[in-house]
Chain A
């Protein structure tokens, strides 16, 4: 055997004998777009997945039957039961001809019962799985998570896509954020709530379950404590959301509302420690533009302008206070006061507050200051001459 032949044989072996034949065709995979995890009973979980059905999506090749996309749902939901998430997935896999593939999972929903019992272990599974995206959004369903997955919203083909879009525009929080918040000392996660609602089209026939991402679930570590009411949810927006874009309505008198769009908001905090107890002062600067001036207030007039921004500031402060009061009374740190102390005053934190942060939080003074400005006035209002 000549050297040449030996080299060829070696190269051939390299191609054939290497363990790299792990090629997987796209059509042998079931792309999970969303997972919903519910707790059935103690140590028994139901993991539901939403999987698109490419055959029903009207692709060029698949329309051999002629308009195959009509009527049939482009996705389906199935679930498995097990003692943990992996076992549930294995249970589910037994019913699936295609391999579950989690790389494209963008949404993870926990049912309310599951969230109340704590979901940290389930989230850690996601980190352990190399396929999973840490950038998947985490949401909490008011009822069962599987019900949200079954929703058939009108706009997007999959409810997961709808949820992802809506979570992104609300204060969407990802797996990474949640795990960070759970692990950080002195910070508790706040997670958007997702629920279904019927299409409100009066007597119209086309009623589907629409998906609604609205409100905030307040957690203590990884355990759900309460669902914020509307006012507290707005407080969560002011405190936690980075993107300022929002339309906001406040009242300046009886039946006189002004709609503004928030252009910018900036939250700062300072703290001081008095007698071993820290106190925080939050300052929120808000810039807004008037969208609708129903009250016909003359914005060029200083008095009426101040009346407008006064009512706005008061309303915002009330919302923030409502959230902070409710959460601190339960020993929950939504804003991350403790995390701030941990970073900036670590010695005192370790000595005094680390072990009893919940009780410290209850007696901590939090002063909230709101400075609002209205910079653009599309409708400057009329001045009524007396």
Chain B
């Protein structure tokens, strides 16, 4: 472990070579020579030589990243139409010739290189020491579609895509306010991945935004390929099994969290957007809870809390009770358990371990395999686990019921990253139960609870508002009050402007319109 740390530390110290920060000269051939050297062996970088008026010019871009139709129509065609009589300078070209909507000037190679790699088109004209950057990004990207990981019955059907700009626009479309700030950062020495940090200026605590930006700025890594990198690099306690940053594919979830004063980080190249700070209870809430009528939301939330406990503890409780506390089981149930276990060669604990592991294996196989084969696997698994194993006398029928109930319970957790931690924690719980019985289960639960109460996500207690207790915030934890009563924002995040809506919003005949 320590050696690993040393390697990391060493890497951080080592110099990452930087492009020379040269200025663009007036000699076009020199400039092109320099650029061509930088893009040696890069077949996708196109250097297109044209003559405009009497000047030689170069258009440089990365093929596939630009909207070539627009460049052809609004830049190349316009430039070629110039007659030698026209007097040219960069301002003239920018203002009179090029009809692309975003044009900027650059005079340093370092920035120029970045612009090319970002998908902009560069126009270099002979005799001028400035380059024009034509902003016509293009290229193919996935269209907006319904997110697979968070589907809803009622609610918006759009999900984030891999493109940062599309993603920020999706949030902008939800919140039409100049308070919505989109701060940009670039991380990754090689990948130069763009990040957008979104927050509502009037709601998000400034210290929080500062802290987030500071933690992002100290990242020095060669590449960021997914928001998971950022998550692990900035979260408070990486050793904790619990996720401290929420991720989502849904713009409405991001918008709702921004409105509660949270900060979200969009990473270019992934549809998974980070939301922070989070509390434990956010992971058992689905976005649909706020769209359906509140009765069903209350019921579903209570159900999820119950099933969360079952998903974590049910195999452990079964192991503990069946091998230590037989007096707790009703006589008839105990006798039927005994009857079905009569031919089983393994102790309950081993049996539970076999079943849980094979269930996890099945689930993993189902995810990794192509969808067509995945179905075959699930049928096979159902046969093997459900019927054959019982009939062969390897596992008992009650165990199958316990394991499948546990599996179903873990599927009801809306956020996949919490479901993973619960799945993992089930095993230590089972081991404790197998060694110490109920005593072990209680011990394990106490350790877990202590850890959860100690944990913080960007300074906000992870178990809040339950611990520390905030009565007023409990209206949106295990239950959800109707929208007319949701009048305050969570106190944990928003200190300055807590009022979310007007009072007396409940519709009734006695209320006059004011």
Tell me the A residues contacting B by CB distance below 8 Å.
Answer: 15, 18, 20-27, 29, 31, 33, 52, 54-55, 57-62, 64, 101, 103-104, 106, 131, 161
Contacts and interface: CB of A to CB of B under 8 A. Distances in A.
Contacts of B323: 23-26
B343 A62 contact: yes
> Interface on chain B toward A: helix, strand, loop, or mixed SS?
helix
Contacts of B337: 26
Interface stretch (B7-15, B45-53, B324-332, B486-494): B324-332
5 contacts: A26-B338, A27-B338, A52-B338, A59-B339, A104-B331
Contacts of B390: 60-61
Contact of A103 (B326, B336, B347): B326
Interface stretch (B59-67, B247-255, B256-264, B434-442): B434-442
Contacts of B439: 20
Nearest to B347: A25
A55 B331 contact: no
B396 interface: yes
B397 A25 contact: no
B434 to A, nearest CB: 7
A58 B435 contact: no
A54 B342 contact: yes
Interface centre among A27, A52, A64 (most CB of B within 10 A): A27
A29 B343 CA distance: 14
Nearest to A55: B342
A58 B339 contact: yes
Given A23-B434, A54-B339, 7 more contacts: A24-B326, A27-B344, A60-B390, A61-B344, A103-B327, A104-B326, A161-B332
A168 to B, nearest CB: 14
B474 to A, nearest CB: 37
Contacts of B393: 61, 64
B209 interface: no
A32 B335 CA distance: 11
Contact of B342 (A18, A27, A106): A27
Contacts of A15: 435
A15 B428 CA distance: 12
A101 to B, nearest CB: 7
A293 to B, nearest CB: 41
Contacts of A52: 335, 338
Contacts of A106: 331
B436 A20 contact: yes
B322 interface: yes
Interface in B407-464: 434-437, 439
Contacts of B397: 59-61
B334 interface: yes
A57 B397 CA distance: 14
Contacts of A131: 327
Given A52-B335, A60-B396, A61-B396, A26 B436 contact: no
B345 to A, nearest CB: 10
B335 A57 contact: yes
Given A22-B324, A104-B334, A62 B339 contact: yes
Contacts of A27: 338, 341-342, 344
A58 B439 CA distance: 33
B140 to A, nearest CB: 51
Contacts of A54: 335, 338-339, 341-342
B123 interface: no
A62 B345 CA distance: 12
B237 to A, nearest CB: 18
A62 B337 CA distance: 11
Given A54-B338, A54-B342, A33 B331 contact: yes
Contacts of B348: 25-26
Given A33-B331, A101-B326, A104-B334, A20 B437 contact: yes
Nearest to A60: B397
B340 interface: yes
A52 B390 CA distance: 22
Contacts of B349: 23
